Structure 1
């Protein structure tokens, strides 16, 4: 075990960082010390040589003269005494001399150090410390290259040479001294190496420990261990490295944690997406960049009739073969197109999917490319749905929408469309078109006697006979009840028309057999011809209807072509005039009053008196049901005078109660021109001096003011001279122009209700209303809008500059007694007051109309379940993105309000409304009327939820648009200041919806 430990140590030690740092330092110090030692050794060698030369020079100078004197005096025996002290000197090896005796004999003598009398030779250098003895090793003299020197001196005295002296030095003392210096230098190098190694080891120990910890921590961090940190110690650089590592480790752990959480979230998101894609009702197939299938959800598997394993990796064009629904020709590969163009591609409308096992389905959907982070297309996703049943339902609904459910004949909507086409074609071909209005003679008696079931059987038989009587190119339609319409086009002459109608009337006169009895009928037919008649479809139908009444008045069972005299009074009209005179005499007329308000202020500014006929049998009749009969009739003046008397009397009663509300009342131009009218007004005002004339306002129809503008303008001035105000009503249709405003000095102009009703649906009408308002304001007249039916219409009018109005959205006509109570409690539409101080943005107009579009759609579905013909297209019913509300929501609405919570909350409810509405129509089409009406009730509840979200959206948009929110400055009817609340606005909107429905 000990040997193994040493082996591991020997293996580890060269790899240790300390060793790798110390060895170069030791080698460097050793090299420097060696160089220095060599220099010291060379210096000592040179100094030894110099010292020997100096010693020889000194001793030679000292002995030469003394020995020369001794030789000259003949005392040569004393020479050894002189040489002995010299040779005993440290560094001397021997002294040799020779001289010549008088007899010419040359004598040589020498004395060596070993012959000296000194006991022991000590190599002591004068510069060495006392007691320091150095003995150089044997190899050192060879290394230093130092040897003894010899010097020859002549023994001269008084100019005579007596001999020669030779001195020999011993280099040992100098060699020893050099060795001492070299050994000291070597020991110093060793000491320096030891000290520096120790200091460096101590200095690097903590740093190396930190570096070792740093390495271990790096390995731990790389292995994924949490909390890998190092102790900050050592030199500044090591501490900075440790701090940097700890910071990096912390950031790395945080990053790894975020990555793990992100990976977990991505995994969960992937799971959710896969579950979502597996759960949604639409089929989803994803492909790679080569259009090969890489994902398919269960719905797609079911539609394709193939399993996931069968389609993965297969080309989409083989997995999902699609052909044209109509031609069954192969269509262009939408996935290839999407991948090539990097754009969303929709499947061709009503594409037919050829599924496995020859199962075919009609599908719709789209293909979208999938991009990576760099924007490159890496695949695609096709989303499609099975719309086979929906298409079949659409086709069935399209048929039902355009055809009568009982007879399968085209209904009023489709026949009107065909009439427009027939008129256009007749104008292009300059051919003859006959519009025939057919009414059955004797059908009412059959219906009353045998019941509606028998009546329906008879109508079916009549429809078959009508179709058989006309040509295959002609159209037969049922308007309702026992009224039918024939469109006979491309007639060559009236003789051909006579043949067709004669054949028809003959066929209708034949006995009609049902299960219960045999019935006899006839037909009265009215005909309007093109090009003899005006080419407007409605005019042709109206003239055909009038001609039919003339045929029926002549005994029926015949046809009559419309003539001008058919437009004159009929006996029925004469009877109606007599009844109107009786109603005036018996006091059957009534005045109802409709408030006028300031839209933003929420206060009542006046009322309009509206005439009604309280018929004993027919109930309350509107003016359009009887006033057109009295035009250019004496009854017109008489009714006008009665209205004047009642208006002034009611103004007296209100003023006596402390109310000062101006009353306006309608008057035809014929009545205004009648002298008796002006006289009646003067007399009644004189009889009621407490009624200021300015509290009365005459409202003229603008359409009746087109002939004699100069005369009418002068007459208006005469009425204004009495103090009575004059309003120009129904301004807009016909010949509305600045000329009317210039020639007719009316105080107020009222916008025609037809434009108010349609301006939300028709951009042309909206632009026309805006131009009318601008024109009226240019002429300095007051302007008021009548017929405001929805809060949205009021908002539009406020935006366009009209702030006064009346209509069902404000209040329906009511009795005079109800007006004070209503005025006291009226606060105005919160939506109008909310938007009154808002900086208007024209881009918010569609939002104002969205609610009305939604209500209209729901009402159409509800009415359809009650037997009313549906006036929505198939796409508007089946596709929640194609109705008017859906087009706004997924178009302008999505672009402008997608970030608002109230907007997002609408989508799911709106889509569900379409689903419930479609179910209601399907139930109704299948004859399950009660179930359909139950669905309609559910639909109404869902409608209110959408309206609630729209109310919240209105508030969010309005509040965001107001730079400085503050209450509207207009006081309410009780003198306070009104501020809109969400609850009140919800209630107001729901009340308006109830009135609309």
Structure 2
């Protein structure tokens, strides 16, 4: 039955119910309310319960009509923040006091000791023909499943799944809070980057399961070594970070780091063996080494590098003298100034294609430096140098002007394309940026504005989210679209996305490039595509270097793609020639005929694990580091998945049974390859590797055929579709 509208209920003549003249059983409305799953209560003007439907009794417990007061029924309810309600805050009391509706009041109730239910409550006043208040109608909807799902998503977005430590996202948020507190209290904050010494050797020799066990033990020791108000986070791989607040002396930080390194250096019992590792740490202090999170992270990373260079197993504080290398780059900065004056910079354009519909929807403008001696230089060869220099503003202004000129030329020629331009964080943060941009746009027809897209790196936004979000909103009010670039490797959390309201997210190319061989990256890519939809963001992906990358993105529900598999960045004349010759690949359409189910996504993850294990096994064999566990077909991640009881549902597919039959052969070939490499039988080892890769090809083919069979049957989508926003 559909949800009950309290606004419609209050228009009903309730006089007979209010006076008790009509029995509930005789009321058609009461019979109808008995069928709804939404709780409905009717109260008189004295705050006494007149009637409630069965759904209300199930939530609040049965109550005696005409004697139960609203304070009694709601006595166990708490506010969303966990605080108790004052009587006048309760929904019935608020309507009786104000004669006004109550909308979307969130509260919790505990019907059992271990059972907490979340409710969304609304209330409307009931009036008679003379407009006198005679009662209140209350509706309550159980939203527990929605709240718990949201909490799970937020936990996944904020915590490392292996160690359950905060991840980069949550660490960045706590850094922001800690620095704000330190500014008020005039205290120090230490940001520490830690890297494990010797972890790779353990991981390679004992296997990644042992490596994961070791990382979990490291996380436990780190948490035991710090104070309750401090934070330890996993950055990725074997890198961790610590945030130490409320420091009064540097020696307090030194004592903590000494305790941490000593504890991490003690023996571990992993996979039945005694293991020893160490750790190195780099430290940056607020405020002396920086007053922004990204500055402290960079400086701590620099100090960590110096600690490892000095012999590992130690900690190193950031030294500004080490930062003097920036001064050595002044000569190069002067050459960039010359390049702007002498028009040595050019823009190349890389297409962005909607592969689901086979349409080129736009391009990204990418700067190139035609150096008179070194030739064409890619952005990474000079842009990082100017990123935090005022020179980035001059370069950014040139890029904007050139890109708008090209966009206008394309539209005049009938090429209706969007054009994306990367904006430096320093340029964006300049006072008056939006006024300057408005002036640039004013030189062109107004309809061109909606086709112009600003791309800002996720990490740059998070450096000062408040100021950045306001500037981006101003740009959107001008009609310009905004893309959050390099998404997935920075700090943005779900609340930040809601605050930024960007039009698009562009998944970082490193995640896309690694997703075929790294299940974690594949899961992140799928997760980004999934959770962006509720925020109204269109998702694009860059870095699709091969047709396999492209087809996998399509299968995951991300049709907006950029990468070498489509085209490399090109000068405008070559871009236009490519555009006129463009023909969509028929394979694209096949990959978008259905969307991935959870079974489908599970097969993608299994395939990524299989690829990664084969690559690692071949590498270990060639390095003469073969270990016996490689021969066990149940020890590898793919084998563990294959034999898990949860995969019984796949046994109805012939392909799955064939995969089970062939999988042990993979491990036999790895054993042969390991033995031949150890014995330096080069010719035989080459044959072993060829046979292994041939078996891998057949296994991957079977997995793809299973996914294709899943696609033939209509199933619920795992990832919701996105609607295109018109400019």
TM-score, normalised to structure 1's length? 0.38
In our comparison, the structure showing a higher alpha carbon Rg is: 1
If asked which structure has higher relative contact order (CA below 8 Å, sep 6+), I would say: 2
In proportion to residue count, which structure has more helix?
Answer: 1
